[in-house]
């Protein structure tokens, strides 16, 4: 196999700014979030709900103090929607809590950059697959920065690991788990007895895919898809002919290559349990003979108007649809982290407004602490009796917060503990019984809690578009459109406007000239 390279995911594109600034967060030697010394106090052990066993289990890592963590990343053919970002924020929450508990975490988040949807979009827009995927990958990383998600250690792209995928296919064929049929290669579910971790074989879950007639059994799934004319120039050569790997194989291959044959945690949306994760398990364990993943974690759907988001219902909401400014973006993150990750999340304006109000209250609370420490010379440095009250309250609060987080990341109760603490502190402040020392204890606790929730940060907003963020090709199209409008070739101008939209921007005509805004 090829030597692994960290952060090789952009292949010719500039490294996102948030990764440049935060390179110390890549595989940290110790968590950078130990603001609060009491975090080392005795607390309950961590229990996580394992989708594989359908029960809460005591979490232990296979390697001492080290967690190997794989999470399913985006398919980069469009802007990610808020349901996708619920998953990505959930991964971030898991990682932050593991770091807080003192684990080192090696995190892999894959990029699917070859797929039927990507090819169809490239054909429709008459752009190359690489142009499509590079653009939407950059947008994804910018949105992840807006949402304050810690970067992964590795972002492997599927197209960079085709040869390794072919090697895995060869092994599966050699072991008798896969067969060649009419130029494609399929995994034989009948040959893998444990199949059915997240389903029963009777469900078969046969994917609606071309070439189904070539399969030996309806439940068999594709490992290598033979080339068809509509694939255009998107193909690779293998001993089985022209084609490309199946989607399920991509994740198994990259997980095995970067994290080894046994992974501690694999996370993804509940919609990926079957057939995607089912098939990942079958492929990996058929090759290695070992337990592929020890803990499977799945987050629930985001619902809009009490329905799952879907294109067929035309209720897809993207980050730019709901979050215009920094407060909106932080409120969306708070809405996600304060909801239990396994439960369906009903997104509606009342809930979103409630999250905004809470974030404002948290900001005001932290601002009051900061201003008091800086500007009020009358505050004593220490008040022995009062300081002991604060110390006890702070320790008890952190202990309760830890216990809730260790109960399968029970963030609704954990955030309730935080808000109850704020209420108690505000009541004490009414009597003006505080010192500089006690204020700093409160601030340290809040910073420690926030190192898990990730709310106190300055987020770039959708309105903070810089000229450098816009591809050169878009500026060329804007110039061509302006020229067409000046010459009254309005049909051409409209066609150019649509091409600009395909790059993710909308052009606004103002008295001062054309203005570009990000398209959600």
Q: Determine the pLDDT at residue 200.
A: 55
Partners of 8 in the β-ladder: none
- What confidence score (pLDDT) does residue 8 get? 33
What per-residue confidence (pLDDT) applies to 516? 78
Q: Are 395 and 41 in contact, with CB atoms under 8 Å apart? A: yes
pTM over 0.75: yes
Please give the pLDDT value at position 511. Answer: 63
Q: Is 157 helix (H, G, I), strand (E, B) or coil?
A: strand
All structural domains of the chain, each given as residue ranges with its CATH number in brackets, are: 17-52+67-299 (3.40.50.620), 351-453 (1.10.730), 467-518 (no CATH)
Could you give the residue ranges of the DSSP H alpha helices within 349-383? 349-375
Q: What angle do CA 137, 80, 505 make, to 5 degrees?
A: 70
Q: In 3D, which of 389, 507, 460, 496 has the Cα closest to residue 145?
A: 460
Q: For residue 282, what pLDDT is reported?
A: 97
Nearest to 383 by CA among 441, 424, 443: 441
Give the tokens for residue 341.
């990750």
> Taking all residues of the chain, what is their mean pLDDT, rounded to a whole number?
86
pLDDT of residue 34: 34
Region of 48 (left: φ > 0; alpha: ψ -120 to 50; beta: rest) is beta
Residues of the chain with pLDDT under 70: 1-43, 200-211, 375-376, 460-469, 510-513, 518-520
Q: State the residue for tokens 């389903």.
A: 199
Strand order in the sheet with 184-187: 178-181, 184-187, 221-226, 241-245, 236-238
The number of beta carbons lying within 10 Å of the beta carbon of residue 109 is 23
Strand order in the sheet with 293-299: 104-109, 66-71, 263-269, 293-299
Each residue's pLDDT tens digit, 211-224: 677 898 999 999 99
CA 496 to chain centre: 33
CB 285 within 8 Å of CB 52: no
Q: Which helix (H) or strand (E) holds 125?
A: helix 116-125
Can you tell me the distance from the alpha carbon of 159 to that of 114, in angstroms, rounded to the nearest whole number?
Answer: 7
Closest CA to 74 of 137, 11, 128, 13: 137
Nearest C-alpha neighbor of 108 from the set 95, 117, 93, 89: 95
Bridge partners (DSSP) listed for residue 186? 179, 222
Q: What is the DSSP letter of 458?
A: -
Q: Which of 350, 308, 310 is nearest to 331 (CA)?
A: 350
Max CA-CA distance within the chain?
83
pLDDT of residue 170: 98
Residues 117, 123, 126, 131, CA torsion sign: positive
What pLDDT sits at residue 461?
A: 58
Q: Describe the crossing of helices 411-430 and 384-406 by its angle, rounded to 10 degrees.
A: 170
CB–CB of 402/44 below 8 Å? yes
What is the per-residue DSSP string for 271-306? GGIIIIIHHHHHHHHHHH-S-SEEEEEEEPPEEETT
What's the CA gap between 497 and 518, in Å, rounded?
A: 13
Picking from 467, 349, 445, the residue whose alpha carbon sits closest to that of residue 397 is 445
301: CB partners within 8 A, 6+ apart: 83, 269, 270, 271, 308, 309, 344, 345
What's the pLDDT score for residue 473? 76
Give the pLDDT of residue 199.
Answer: 79
pLDDT number for residue 464: 52
Q: Which residues pair with 506 in a beta bridge?
A: 517
């Amino acid at each position: 196999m090829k030597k692994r390279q960290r952060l090789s995911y952009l292949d010719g594109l500039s490294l996102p700014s948030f990764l440049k600034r935060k390179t110390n967060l890549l595989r940290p030697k110790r968590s950078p979030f130990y603001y609060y010394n009491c975090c080392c106090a005795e607390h309950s052990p961590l229990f996580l709900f394992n989708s594989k066993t359908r029960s809460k289990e005591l979490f232990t890592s296979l390697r001492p103090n080290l967690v190997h963590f794989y999470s399913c990343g985006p398919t980069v053919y469009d802007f990610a929607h808020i349901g996708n970002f619920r998953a990505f924020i959930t991964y971030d929450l898991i990682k932050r809590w593991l770091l807080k508990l003192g684990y080192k975490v090696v995190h892999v988040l894959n990029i699917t950059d070859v797929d039927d949807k990507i090819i169809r979009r490239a054909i429709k827009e008459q752009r190359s697959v690489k142009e499509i995927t590079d653009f939407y990958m950059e947008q994804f990383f910018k949105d992840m920065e807006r949402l304050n998600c810690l970067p992964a250690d590795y972002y492997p792209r599927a197209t960079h690991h085709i040869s390794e995928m072919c090697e895995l296919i060869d092994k599966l064929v050699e072991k008798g788990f896969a067969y060649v049929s009419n130029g494609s290669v399929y995994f034989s579910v009948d040959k893998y007895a444990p199949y059915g971790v997240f389903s029963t074989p009777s469900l078969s879950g046969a994917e609606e895919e071309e070439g189904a007639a070539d399969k030996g059994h309806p439940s068999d799934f594709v490992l290598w898809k033979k080339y068809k004319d509509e694939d255009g120039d998107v193909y690779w050569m293998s001993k089985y002919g022209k084609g490309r790997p199946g989607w399920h194989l991509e994740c198994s291959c990259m997980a095995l290559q970067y994290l080894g044959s046994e992974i501690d945690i694999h996370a993804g949306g509940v919609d990926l349990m079957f057939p995607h994760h089912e098939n990942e398990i079958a492929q990996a364990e058929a090759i290695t003979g070992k337990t592929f993943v020890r803990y499977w974690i799945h987050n629930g759907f985001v619902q809009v108007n009490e329905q799952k988001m879907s294109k067929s219902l035309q209720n897809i909401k993207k980050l730019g649809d709901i979050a215009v400014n920094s407060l909106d973006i932080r409120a969306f993150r708070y809405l996600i982290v304060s909801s239990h990750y396994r439960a369906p999340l009903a997104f509606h304006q009342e809930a979103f407004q409630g999250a905004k109000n809470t974030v404002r209250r948290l900001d005001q609370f932290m601002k009051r602490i900061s201003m008091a420490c800086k500007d009020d010379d009358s505050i004593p440095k220490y008040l022995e009796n009062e300081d002991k009250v604060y110390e006890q309250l702070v320790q008890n609060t952190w202990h309760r917060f830890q216990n809730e987080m260790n109960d399968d990341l029970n963030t609704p109760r954990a955030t309730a503990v935080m808000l109850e603490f704020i209420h108690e502190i505000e009541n004490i402040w009414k009597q003006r019984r505080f010192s500089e020392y006690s204020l700093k204890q409160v601030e340290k606790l809040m910073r420690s809690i926030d190192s898990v929730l990730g709310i106190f940060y300055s987020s770039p907003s959708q309105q903070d578009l810089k000229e450098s963020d816009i591809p050169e090709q878009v500026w060329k199209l804007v110039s061509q459109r302006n020229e067409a409008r000046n010459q009254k070739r309005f049909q051409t101008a409209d066609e150019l406007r649509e091409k600009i939209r395909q790059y993710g921007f909308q052009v606004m005509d103002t008295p001062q000239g054309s203005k570009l805004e990000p398209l959600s």
